[in-house]
Structure 1
Amino acid sequence: MDHSFFSKVKPCLITKSFVPENKETPIHFIANDIIGRKLFYRRNHFPYPHFTSSFYFLPISGSVNSPRTFSLQEIYSLPAKTIKVVLECAGNKRELFEPKVFGEQWGKGAMSQGIWKGVSLRTLLQYTGLMNSAREFVFEGYDYGQRPGSSQSISFSRSLPLKKALDPDTIIAYEYNDQPLPFKHGFPLRLIVPGWYGMASVKWLKKLTVIDHEFNGPFQADDYVYYPDKEIDTGKFSVTTMNVNSTIQFPLNMQLLRTGVYDIKGIAWTGEGNITKVEISLDDGQTWDLCRYTSASEKNSWVSWSYKWEVQKKGEYTLQSRATDSHGNVQPKKPLWNRKGYGFNAIDRIKVKVE
């Protein structure tokens, strides 16, 4: 069957809220591994920031030997690193949780992928050094506002532990897909933390502070925390690494089909290692077959997969996809339910009817 419509249609972002602007990537209509800036999902907690000056500097202070402020020109002149990275909102697929949870009801498109260019954080730290007491790196963005239920304005701030901050692939990015970083995605500088959910990749970087204690800002101590119990906080733990996951892009859920041959298509990704296996079930999970990759399985990026399905019998079918990564993580039948709705990664499941 000819699926050339993928290259002909002009999909647009799916709006979830206007202020702050939150929009999904039309992931079911994406045929490429690289998402252009116009279709890259947008996740904001506050309105877009306003810069009062064209001069931009990034200060690094705290538990460092030599505090320093870097100009954009200095950062541009340092050795650069380019990486292909999938970014996924921790709330991706939130609308699929049962029982339902409150929060932005993301479907399957709160994720995108592209090529980021910037400077490894560890390169900048060569100029400042680190004190022995250094424990975490706090990244503060220029975006600010009031959290629900609070009258106090705060900036969006997150921290990284020493090991993750010093990973060579953790970069301060200034380009996306060989173009200057778009304003709505963090211009002039944003953090990119491969393997972790998107909340870690702080946009519109204002400053970096190295601290000798655990950071307890509200976007780390209250939000982006798994709370497995609906009422109490017992058993809570931080949202960090992306779960192994997959999405069926074609056919669409509840689509009507005719008998014939179809290429079932989708993507799979993980925060640890790389995808080693994607399986498809055409009978609601009773049996599973291997899918073939249509793109390379690489660390930090998704793999595209397909499966040729010849269907001659009319009726209703439940299709499922299940991914496995190189650390042995497998998509579960049911997700870890948590009251804020993070990290949904249950086996992807759609229904179609063949007429």
Structure 2
Amino acid sequence: MISRRELLKDASFLLAAAGAAQPVLSWAATQYDVPTIPGKDGMILRSFRFLDVEMPMEFLNSWITPVPHFFVRNHMHEPSTVDAAEWRLSVTGEVEKPFTLSLADLGKVESHTVINTLECAGNGRAFQHPSVPGIQWQRGAVGTARFSGPRLRDLLQRAGVKTAGKHVMFRGLDEVPGKVPPFIRSIPIQKAMDTDTLVATQMNGAPLEKHHGFPARALVPGWIGAASCKWLTEIKILDKEFDGNFMKPGYRFPNQPVAPGGSVNPDDAHPVTGLNVKSVIASPADDSKAKRGVVPIRGAAWAGEADIAKVDVSTDAGATWSPARLAADHAKYAWRLWSYSWEAAKSGEYTILSRAADTQGRSQPETAAWNPSGYLYNAIDQVKIHVEA
């Protein structure tokens, strides 16, 4: 029999819903003593060791994702405590005038707001075949929020970046266990200087919560979530890409197609940066039932630094396609919600597909490019439903 300890270590869990006001979710399981994560009721717990929490598709019902429904991805332990009064952010490296800011100092710098869809690079990894190691995210390691804070560019200009400065490194306050390498990432100076790249201190109009990087995090819009370092404490300008585990071999994508199950030399791979074009079906749920008549189909689509041009839906496993309606809410870097009303005239088993295309000419493929880390999965989404008379 599997012990609770083993379950907590190896399985995915559903976070306990607190209070009678919580909805009964279609996937809810009550047979386990599930740990409660404050502020994340009803979410799916993918890992308890470093706290990785996924949003169920039933919560994808608004353009802006409420913070309690926003996924959490940690590579290390979260800081046990963060004292806002003692916290400092240093800007060093290839600069003329290094400096350090308190949270109060940072609050005096002009703030900018960016609505951004943040997605873990491994979102969808569970659908890769053959399977690959890592957190087995399905569809919900993604969310859209309003992030606010100073432009990173303003801090770099204050420091005076030298001509040798080519990359900007982020170090957070993650608590590193044992001999695990620290989670440190860098981005090219060009992206760091973009007017929408932030040192974010607010999320959806409120100070960042601890799970999302309080008191400050990097926000690198349109790129994978790993670029947006949480609990930011050091910004260092380097003369080249940071040389560390989470830049190489981690978070790299093969330069050439890889046969499923094959291996890749990190030297023949490049850093994962921008997000792919992708859509997901939020409703109806996979393996659900519906009555004959109008069946509402809805979901979301995003494309990183590009805009969504269209979403098509098929209700006959891809034999025919029809355009979905894109919702009015729209912003650079943010997903578009979409919907389609399907007239299910006959009972039976159906496969519903969604396929997005973007303004760069990219379209969701039938099969995602396989890679040993399961990054950037974006195959045409599908759910199977049974229509009853």
Whether these two folds match at TM > 0.5 is: yes
Within 5 Å, give how 1:1-355 maps onto structure 2. 9=23, 12-51=42-81, 53=83, 54-146=85-177, 152-227=179-254, 228=258, 230-233=262-265, 235-355=268-388
Return the letter of the residue paired with 2:207.
Answer: P
For structure 2, list consecutive stretches of 5 or more residues without a partner in the other structure: 1-20, 26-41
Give the structure-1-normalised TM-score. 0.93
Return the letter of the residue paired with 1:102.
Answer: P
After the TM superposition, list the runs of 4 or more consecutive aligned residues in structure 1 that deviate by more than 6 angstroms.
Answer: none
Return the letter of the residue paired with 1:42.
Answer: V
2:136 & 2:205 partners in 1: Cα distance? 32
1:161 & 1:142 partners in 2: Cα distance? 22
For structure 1, list consecutive stretches of 5 or more residues without a partner in the other structure: 1-6
Question: Conserved in 2, the CA contact under 8 Å of 1:268 and 1:323?
Answer: yes
1:143 & 1:43 partners in 2: Cα distance? 12
Between structures 1 and 2, the one with greater strand share: 1
1:232 & 1:153 partners in 2: Cα distance? 22
- 2:247 counterpart SS class: helix
2:130 & 2:228 partners in 1: Cα distance? 29
Kindly provide the CA deviation profile for residues 229-252 of structure 1, in whole angstroms up to 9, marking residues without a partner as x.
523427422211100000011111
**How much does 1:153 deviate?**
4.2
**How much does 1:77 deviate?**
0.9
1:104 & 1:312 partners in 2: Cα distance? 40
1:308 & 1:340 partners in 2: Cα distance? 36
- Comparing 9-18 and 104-113, the one that deviates more: 9-18
**How much does 1:274 deviate?**
0.7
Return the letter of the residue paired with 2:23.
Answer: V
Paired position in structure 2 for 1:4: none
Kindly provide the CA deviation profile for residues 193-239 of structure 1, in whole angstroms up to 9, marking residues without a partner as x.
10001000000011011011221210111111124352342742221
Return the letter of the residue paired with 2:65.
Answer: I
Give the structure-2-normalised TM-score. 0.85
Question: Conserved in 1, the CA contact under 8 Å of 2:123 and 2:137?
Answer: yes
- 1:15 counterpart SS class: strand
**How much does 1:295 deviate?**
3.2
1:164 & 1:116 partners in 2: Cα distance? 17
Does the C-alpha gap of structure 1 residues 258 and 244 become closer, same or farther in structure 2, counting only changes over 3 Å?
Answer: same
2:69 & 2:252 partners in 1: Cα distance? 28
**Total equivalences in the alignment:** 345
**How much does 1:27 deviate?**
2.7
Kindly provide the CA deviation profile for residues 53-105 of structure 1, in whole angstroms up to 9, marking residues without a partner as x.
53121110110111111121121111110111110001101100111111111
- Comparing 230-239 and 271-280, the one that deviates more: 230-239
**How much does 1:315 deviate?**
1.3
Identity within the alignment, %: 38
1:205 & 1:110 partners in 2: Cα distance? 21
2:82 & 2:109 partners in 1: Cα distance? 26
**How much does 1:28 deviate?**
3.0
Return the letter of the residue paired with 1:247.
Answer: V
Return the letter of the residue paired with 1:166.
Answer: M
